[in-house]
Structure 1
Amino acid sequence: MSTPERPARPTTPGTLVRVRGSKYDGRAHWAFDGVWLGADEHGDWIGFPVGTHFERPGAAFTAAWPSLTLVTSTGWMPAFNLGHPRRLGTYVDLTTVPEWRADASGFTISYVDLDLDVVERDGEPAFIDDEDEFAEHAVEFGYPADLVERVRADADALLAAVQRRESPFDGATAAAWFDRLAAVG
């Protein structure tokens, strides 16, 4: 039995990575560029230094704080923020499994945002956000029943992991990657 080939990923810290999200109906969602910092047992870490531009239809901002995204091999992508103006520390997007693509212009990660998020603001309890949007889109876009079940179960499990401070949500894991971002950034 052969082992599935791992999609091409960067190998040099500081390599540009384009992150492109969409909604289930194909509409563009968030688009932003970062730098690959490395990988660990959790997945690939992408860093976004101060000054990173984030854009989606109808909204855009340039971050005055550094952030990280962990690209997992599952259907979720957590973001970690330092000094976010609204105290947003951890924000976990429930998604399709992120897909890597390499071409002559570099590396791109694409994913479909599936609405539910696990959110933790500094000093406040974590919670699951956008349940109404998830319920509406499940009907409007025709999410398959197994996808709805998986996303709901993942959201509950991630909420518990954030609350228990399991790695990578323990603070120390992201802190080490923020140090790497500062070094390549």
Structure 2
Amino acid sequence: MSFETVNVVYRKYDGSLHWHHPALLLGEDEHGVWTGCVAGTLGRKGSEPPIIWQQAFVILFPRDGWWTALFNAEPDKTEIYCDITTVPEWRDGEVTMVDLDLDVIRKRDGRIFLDDEDEFDEHQVRYAYPPDVIANARVAADHLMKAVTDFTAPFATPPHWLSHVT
């Protein structure tokens, strides 16, 4: 099966480039649009040298959510990594969003936590996040903490989309 390639581009609130990489456009379901990367995919953080991802993963881009969710293939120690972001926007073979620092993470050992609250607080000042951005980020983080902890779909089981990249 062959898939179209799209560019995944996370930026910071000032417009600077954050994580970016190519991905395969796998499909859509009731949760949103899914992309995937096979093991060995190259990614970059800003203008830093590329890195090679050792495990395959898929990313869910919800249609209206202030977040994205990455699901790692085993044996990666992080099962799910949710970035709190602006609503993903699709155009011309690219999906873009602004990374708002907060992350909801579920490790394979069962630990679930909200990460980078200090960075979120610092960037509210540095980038002058508007009140609605702060409020939407907090609502998204609270929603994801509950959904990931409660194993609510799509966080209940590894998504079937992983089979396309593993």
Tell me, which stretches of 5 or more residues in structure 1 are unaligned?
A: 1-11
Distance apart, 1:84 and its partner CA: 4.8
Percentage of identical aligned residues: 37
Distance apart, 1:59 and its partner CA: 5.5
Q: In the alignment, which of 73, 79, 104 is matched to residue 82 of structure 1?
A: 73
Q: Give, in whole Å, the separation in 1 of the partners of 2:50 and 2:103.
A: 19
Letter matched to residue 58 of structure 2: L
Give 2:23's aligned residue: 34
Q: Which has the larger radius of gyration?
A: 1
Under a length normalisation based on structure 1, what TM-score does the superposition of the two structures give? 0.84
Give 1:7's aligned residue: none
Q: In the alignment, which of 12, 24, 29 is matched to residue 13 of structure 2?
A: 24
1:31–1:56 Cα contact (<8 Å) kept: yes
Aligned structure 1 segments of 4 or more residues deviating by more than 6 angstroms: none
Q: Give, in whole Å, the separation in 1 of the partners of 2:123 and 2:69.
A: 21
1:125–1:163 Cα contact (<8 Å) kept: no
1:13–1:37 Cα contact (<8 Å) kept: no
Q: In the alignment, which of 79, 97, 102 is matched to residue 116 of structure 1?
A: 102
Query: Deviations 1:105-147 (Å, cap 9, x if unpaired)?
Result: xx11111100000011111321100000000101111101111
Under a length normalisation based on structure 2, what TM-score does the superposition of the two structures give? 0.93
Alpha-carbon RMSD: 1.5
Q: Give, in whole Å, the separation in 1 of the partners of 2:146 and 2:2.
A: 31
Q: In the alignment, which of 43, 50, 54 is matched to residue 64 of structure 1?
A: 54
Do the aligned partners of residues 156 and 132 (structure 1) sit closer, same or farther apart at CA in structure 2, a change above 3 Å counting?
A: same
Q: In the alignment, which of 82, 86, 91 is matched to residue 92 of structure 1?
A: 82
Asked if 1:135 is matched to 2:121, the reply is yes
Letter matched to residue 78 of structure 1: A
Q: How many residue pairs align between the two structures? A: 164
Q: Give, in whole Å, the separation in 2 of the partners of 1:79 and 1:28.
A: 19
Pairing of 1:172-183 with structure 2 (within 5 A): 172=158, 174=159, 176-182=160-166
1:115–1:131 Cα contact (<8 Å) kept: yes
Q: Give, in whole Å, the separation in 2 of the partners of 1:84 and 1:127.
A: 20
Q: Give, in whole Å, the separation in 2 of the partners of 1:128 and 1:161.
A: 13
**Matched residue of 1:154: which SS?**
helix
